[in-house]
Structure 1
Amino acid sequence: MCTNSSFHKADLVGSFLRPEKLKEARENYEAGKINLEELTAVEDEAILYIITKQKELGYKAISDGEFRRSYWHLDFFWGFNGVDHVNMGQGYMFHGEETRDDSARLSGKINFSDNHPFLAHFKFLKENVGDNAEARLSIPSPSQLYAELVRGVNEDKVKDIYPNQTDFVNDIAKAYRDSILAFYDLGCRNLKLDDCTWGMLCDTEFWKTMAGPNFDTKVLEDLYLKLNNKALENLPADLKLSTHVCRGNYHSTYATSGGYEPVAESLFAKENVETYFLEYDDERSGDFEPLRFVPKDKKVVLGLVTSKTPQLEEKETIKSRILEAAKYIDLERLSLSTQCGFASTEEGNILTEEDQWKKIQLVQEISKEVWPQS
């Protein structure tokens, strides 16, 4: 496990609302009105702005807002050899909404590509963050790739290409580990795995509906843990590893509900990361009691400020919830963030950029009041 002691008391999950200029440029690129170089120039300008903005507001782990992505996860998957961009005919189902129908499907054995576009993306971020802050890279977890590749008809290709599931799991883990080491060589020392698979496992009602009342989610739990840990084994000691557990974040809606209790022991005690970004912005995420499973050498970032709605939380309410969580895990091993990013997909959540920055400022203000010595 990473042993880097740096821990920021005010933090962010990473994605930001796309500025209108960027949205227009992407639409024009898709329509063939501008070329890739022109799109990249607009992306660069937008990313330089939010790097500066995050620094001005006192943040130390800086993201590129995911401004070069359409989705928080699929764009990364498409960069692997053996993974194709396909359209499923149906998107992901959220509470009252359906996403676009893009997906990732196998076309051959999975392996890391030296031409993965995220390498250039991170290089730009690292060069422009400078030395007085950290360039954080957020990518979807290995278990998330597994889940996508076996979603619906995608699984047929997996069975064709990987008759042996062990080979499938091993190739995903190796492709990830090779990717992580390539990012490390570019200077990445802060890596976050965004992960909805654990959030799905929290929702016992979902599995009863999807797979029947007798479906044993422990099989998936063990698989996800094995896969993620295999991808993260024997990494450099100064690489700071974290994970964000999400229940879905699309256009201010969600996909699943349920507290962390069903997965807490495996997720907190056994996954090979040092910090957990956890959704806790409403009752769907359950209570703080599962935090009792977090070992003493690990930390938790409480996502108490919602990124889904524009209403600004009351400071005293958030502070009281932090103290409530501290009944189960030492206060010094806690910090504060928004519950998720503001735009897991390029559509973004239903609030304005002004609302977004107010939320981000609020996180910083509260953290200084709760942890004044940090």
Structure 2
Amino acid sequence: MAALHSPFRYDFVGSFLRPQAIKNARAAFKAGEITRDELTAVENEQITLLIEKQKRAGYHAITDGEFRRSYWHLDFMWGFHGIDEVELDHGYYFHGEETTHGSIRVSGKISGENHPFVEHFKFVKQFEDETCVARQTMPAPAQLLAELYREDNGKNTDAVYPDHEQLLQDIAAAYRTVIRELYDAGCRNIQFDDCTWGMFCDDRYWGSRQNGGVDRDAVAAEYLRLNNLALENRPEGLTITTHVCRGNYHSTWASKGGYAPVAPFLFAKENVDAFYLEFDDERSGNFEPLRYVADGKKVVLGLITTKSPRLENKDAVIARIHEAAKYIPLDCLCLSPQCGFASCEIGNKLTELEQWNKLKLVKEIAEEVWGK
């Protein structure tokens, strides 16, 4: 196990379609019909079954599929001290669909001790063996900052934190605390999920969000600095990667545009070991921005979509891998789906069988390109 490090030649992002048993139990808990312990028992049972399936599929990373979460990001944010769970008047407006209305609100000094995700990780950790390593996914610090300034949230954030630099320092310190506690629990693979960079890539989205009043490069530089602050003094032997996409909710998306606007920041300067990147359709642009990726870092090409059950053409995917290799050595490339299968508990529009067929295809293509 100790020799295994993400990313792997064939890999996945982290979230999986929620089984009906999980959906039923979470609904029953919300309605007050079962206890927290009863919900946890169902979650434990279903996560155990999921990990067995991940292993049978031949994958070297194991996750809990985010089965204990409603959202890929908010549940983690709610685990910090000084951050409250709230419902806004509306959700995010994706392409043709509005998301649910959950968000966060800062109520005091942000800190990260005793984060519940540490216990969640310990449950997955017990299933590690010589063929697989447990991975913990979480939203990037920049994603937390972006949510704190989402529409009217910013007024409250500035009221609690009139010193913006102190806010950045406290967020970074909170993440460092969680990272250390995860490490002490045996975690050696952490993945930052970060949609902020995908938003930067979309000129229309950025223009409507900022009304032309904020410099995109200045905000990107701040997000980069915050992410790197959180990674300072990280423990030895800990692999930290990041995943970037443009929204993944019920098979819809939020933004589009190539990586060129963010490549000089994200690819060249973020202190992670690898990038899991969305490349499943034309919304992601071409591979040319990959030339900014710092030497020695790996790129996981998200060429297989989780938004549709349709299986990609193997030859077409292989051709795209070799196209990317014009900018990144083939030995530094890997393959995965472009995102998770259920970034939020509603899930994408495909069946569990279709989900596993996608992952089977990823493995088959990777073994054809790089060998078994």
TM-score (norm: length of structure 1): 0.97
Q: Which runs of 4+ in 1 moved over 6 A?
A: none
Structure 1 residues 6 and 34: CA distance shift in structure 2, 3 A: closer
Q: 1:5 offset after TM fit, Å? A: 6.4
For residues 66-145 of structure 1, the aligned pairs below 5 Å read: 66-114=66-114, 116-145=115-144
Q: 1:100 offset after TM fit, Å? A: 1.1
Structure-1 separation of matches of 2:325 and 2:150:
38
Q: Deviations over 1:19-54 (max 9, x none)?
A: 111111111111111111111111111111111111
Structure-1 separation of matches of 2:4 and 2:177:
21
Q: Is 1:25 aligned to residue 25 of structure 2?
A: yes
* Mean CA deviation greater in 210-219 or 184-193: 210-219
Does the Cα contact within 8 Å between 2:176 and 2:230 map onto a contact in 1? yes
Secondary structure at 2:309 match in 1: coil
Does the Cα contact within 8 Å between 1:16 and 1:66 map onto a contact in 2? yes
Structure-2 separation of matches of 1:195 and 1:244:
6
Structure-1 separation of matches of 2:129 and 2:332:
27
Aligned AA for 1:175?
A: A
* Mean CA deviation greater in 328-337 or 201-210: 201-210
Q: Is 1:152 aligned to residue 147 of structure 2?
A: no
Q: 1:4 offset after TM fit, Å? A: 8.4
Does the Cα contact within 8 Å between 2:6 and 2:61 map onto a contact in 1? no
Which residues of structure 1 form unaligned runs of 5+?
none
Structure-2 separation of matches of 1:288 and 1:112:
37
Aligned AA for 1:324?
A: E
Structure-2 separation of matches of 1:157 and 1:71:
22
Q: Indicate the RMSD between aligned Cα atoms, in angstroms.
A: 1.3
Q: 1:158 offset after TM fit, Å? A: 1.4
* Mean CA deviation greater in 232-241 or 77-86: 232-241
Structure-1 separation of matches of 2:222 and 2:208:
21
Partner of 1:219: 218
Q: Deviations over 1:173-216 (max 9, x none)?
A: 00001110100000010000000011111111211222234642
Structure-1 separation of matches of 2:37 and 2:265:
45
* Mean CA deviation greater in 210-219 or 152-161: 210-219
Aligned AA for 1:294?
A: V
Q: Deviations over 1:95-138 (max 9, x none)?
A: 01111111010010101132x21111000010123443110000
Partner of 2:252: 253
* Mean CA deviation greater in 130-139 or 334-343: 130-139
Structure 1 residues 175 and 6: CA distance shift in structure 2, 3 A: closer
Structure-2 separation of matches of 1:214 and 1:346:
35
Aligned AA for 2:98?
A: E
Aligned AA for 1:325?
A: A
Partner of 1:344: 343
Structure-2 separation of matches of 1:76 and 1:107:
16
Secondary structure at 1:128 match in 2: coil
Secondary structure at 1:10 match in 2: coil
For residues 167-246 of structure 1, the aligned pairs below 5 Å read: 167-213=166-212, 215-246=214-245
Secondary structure at 2:108 match in 1: strand
Structure-2 separation of matches of 1:131 and 1:183:
20
Aligned AA for 1:255?
A: A
Structure-1 separation of matches of 2:212 and 2:155:
25
Aligned AA for 1:293?
A: Y
Which residues of structure 2 form unaligned runs of 5+?
none
Count residues in correspondence: 370
* Mean CA deviation greater in 19-28 or 342-351: 19-28
Q: 1:7 offset after TM fit, Å? A: 4.1
Q: Deviations over 1:77-101 (max 9, x none)?
A: 0011000001111111100111111
Secondary structure at 2:26 match in 1: helix
Structure-1 separation of matches of 2:314 and 2:304:
10
Aligned AA for 2:78?
A: W
Structure-2 separation of matches of 1:90 and 1:102:
8
Structure-1 separation of matches of 2:211 and 2:44:
48
Does the Cα contact within 8 Å between 1:83 and 1:104 map onto a contact in 2? yes
Secondary structure at 2:209 match in 1: helix
Q: Is 1:287 aligned to residue 286 of structure 2?
A: yes
Structure-2 separation of matches of 1:151 and 1:241:
26
Structure-2 separation of matches of 1:308 and 1:107:
36
Q: Is 1:363 aligned to residue 351 of structure 2?
A: no
For residues 7-18 of structure 1, the aligned pairs below 5 Å read: 7-18=7-18
Does the Cα contact within 8 Å between 2:5 and 2:189 map onto a contact in 1? no
Structure-1 separation of matches of 2:107 and 2:129:
39
Does the Cα contact within 8 Å between 2:110 and 2:170 map onto a contact in 1? yes
Does the Cα contact within 8 Å between 1:191 and 1:240 map onto a contact in 2? yes
Structure-1 separation of matches of 2:5 and 2:79:
32
